[in-house]
Amino acid sequence: MTASLAPSPAPEVRVSGSRRRLRLGEQLLALGRITQAELDAALREQKGGQRLGETLVKLGFIEESELLPCLADQFKVPCAQLREGLVDPQAARLIPRALAEATCSIGLFRVHGTLTVAMANPRDLASIDRLEQHTGLRVRPVLALESGIVELLGRVYGEGFQVETVTADLEEGAVALNEEAIQLDLEGLADAIDESPVINLVNYILLQAVRQRASDIHIEPAPRNTIVRYRVDGMLREVMRPRREFHPAIVSRIKVMARMDVAEHRLPQDGRINIIVDRREVDVRTSTLPTVLGEKVVLRVLDRGGVTFRLEELGIPGHQLSLLQQMLAKPHGLLLVTGPTGSGKTTTLYSAIELIKSVERNIVTVEDPVEYRLDLINQVHVNAGATLTFARALRSILRQDPDVIMIGEIRDLETAETAVQAALTGHLVLSTLHTNDAASAVARLTDMGVAPFKIAASLLGVVAQRLLRRVCPHCRGLYYPPPALLDAVQYAGDRARQFARGSGCERCYDTGCQGRVGVYEMLPVSRELREMIAAGAPLDALRDWSRKQGFDSLMQQGLRAAEEGVASLDEVVRVISPD
């Protein structure tokens, strides 16, 4: 059982379901702030726990300055459009960071015995009472957007990671974790280190990882300390260095939470942790690996609340999206998505499944592991220890009357041949391969041992993809790239033009990048291409045919993103190898 310590959502979102939400929507409609189409889009976009007003601002349908007066009118309290100069740091620090995060509030200023506090839900009497009890002051709540509060908390309290301040700040806890796991004892560690700081430290590591959009957490032993790193937008960055003596306790705490064997230090282990952060359910896949300095832990963060699986939201250009939708509309055949690890292949497959699923179809997936749970989909988890491999699971699925089969990855000849045979016998099969571009998928299947005529008969098309880091909008600037860089990507456009890049700021943690965008290469299989594949055409011939048909390469799509200022030219070179 899990529980969230985040504050109750504001009434305009959570009271009486959608009816209360529409009161805000109707008010904004009457004022001419939004259109009916924008309101409908925002209601569709809303995820569990997210406020309608926040969604409208996020989608760019309304400015915060236009929204706040409407919300304040509903709450019957003053509103505050937050900015750093409005906050008195001494007043803010009257509230410990953990309590501020738990109540989604930030102290603005103090006048005698009254502390004015910005809150996402100024009607949350329980939170107001907690704030008054802790500060000993009368709390005067004012309304502010949750996104603004969270952002300002990071600036006022700082994003530095010092173990000493973490253990002090998290006394009240800002993350709700699996209660059963929390209640288990860290047996054998009482003599090494006090349990409470370790619990708080691990909680803090998880909380910050989710809030900073980390996909992975690395906890690594070093000779003098423990190194904690987050992978954000595909790149690792160091965030913390706890003292070395903390390491065994940190690892054991994570093992307890993930239901691993705490006493086993010599063998790798896998586990799973379920947490709730900011009213969002998050799965954390956990893996340990023994090294000469101790056990290394890697945690994969799967934020269910922060992910939507819609092809239209993946950033696929319109003409490419149309090609992909046409391939998915076929009743049978094999569709492959290719790219390296971490390039978004699973997200594309899930989005494709979400597009074509219906009660009239039996859709089965076989994955290693199952990352996200999908409605109306039968998902099978590969278990090598129990000899349930991709190929064996696929053979069993074919006896389950499937219409659509998704295979997490084609890794060997047996899986490849079974997938091709399924596609040839009336099933739509979706899967992934690790190749550099779309045409290489054909060569990869051939190298595995699949007959070219079978590939030609079954293949619908290939989607190759990469994820580029977006230029940070807060520190974005223009520059003239050096000729050597333009030569490296064989740039044929105007060499006198300027390109965008980020200089680095506190919003992007000095990386110059914030968020990611996909670039895609589509290779639909036509009759002519089918004949070439069946005849065993070499890889270069397949690539040449694709370019002559007007299908852009990944590099061409990446350069277009650089020209539009979405990604930097350096990022394109880093992610995409020149042809």
Q: 10-residue block means of pLDDT along the chain (579 residues)?
A: 32 36 70 80 65 75 77 79 74 85 87 89 88 91 84 69 43 40 32 56 87 93 92 91 88 93 93 83 93 96 80 90 96 97 93 94 92 90 79 92 96 94 96 95 96 97 96 92 89 90 86 92 97 96 95 94 94 85
141-150 as b/e, with b when 16 or more CB fall inside 10 Å?
bbbbbbbbbb
The two three-digit tokens of residue 522, written as one number: 């589509």
Helix (H/G/I), strand (E/B), else coil: 32? coil
Q: How far apart are CA 442 and CA 73, in angstroms?
A: 61
Long-range contacts of the stretch 266-274 (C-beta < 8 A, 24+): 266/290, 273/177, 273/178, 273/181, 273/206, 273/299, 274/2, 274/178
pLDDT of 35 reads 83
- Residue carrying structure tokens 């200089």: 503
In angstroms, the CA 247 to CA 297 distance is 10
CATH 3.40.50.300 in the chain is located at 311-467+517-551
User: Using CA atoms, how far apart are residues 75 and 373, in angstroms rounded to an integer?
Assistant: 37
Superfamily (CATH) of domain 311-467+517-551: P-loop containing nucleotide triphosphate hydrolases (3.40.50.300)
d(CA 321, CA 99): 45
Query: What pLDDT is stored for residue 297 in this prediction?
Result: 98
- Report helix angle 318-328 to 345-356, nearest 10: 60
214 near 237, Cβ under 8 Å?
Answer: no
Unique residue bearing structure tokens 């004892």: 185
Positions of CATH 3.30.450.90 in the chain: 196-303
pLDDT for 232 equals 93
Which parts of 435-482 fold into alpha helices (H)?
440-448, 452-458
Q: Which pLDDT does position 84 carry in this prediction?
A: 58
User: Where in the chain is CATH 3.30.300.160?
Assistant: 24-157
Contact yes or no for 362/403 (Cβ under 8 A): yes
pLDDT score for 370: 87
Position 233 scores a pLDDT of 92
Cα separation, 100 vs 82, whole angstroms:
15
CATH architecture, domain defined by 196-303: 2-Layer Sandwich (3.30)
Q: Give CA–CA dist 24/10, Å, rounded.
A: 11
Dihedral (C-alpha) 206, 210, 43, 377: value to the nearest 10 degrees?
A: -80
Q: Which helix (H) or strand (E) holds 216?
A: strand 214-221
Kindly report the pTM of this predicted structure. 0.68
How buried is 225 (Cβ within 10 angstroms: 0-12 exposed, 13-18 middle, 19+ buried)? middle
360's tokens? 């009239």
Would you state the pLDDT for residue 8? 35
- For the domain made up of 24-157, the CATH class stated in words is alpha beta
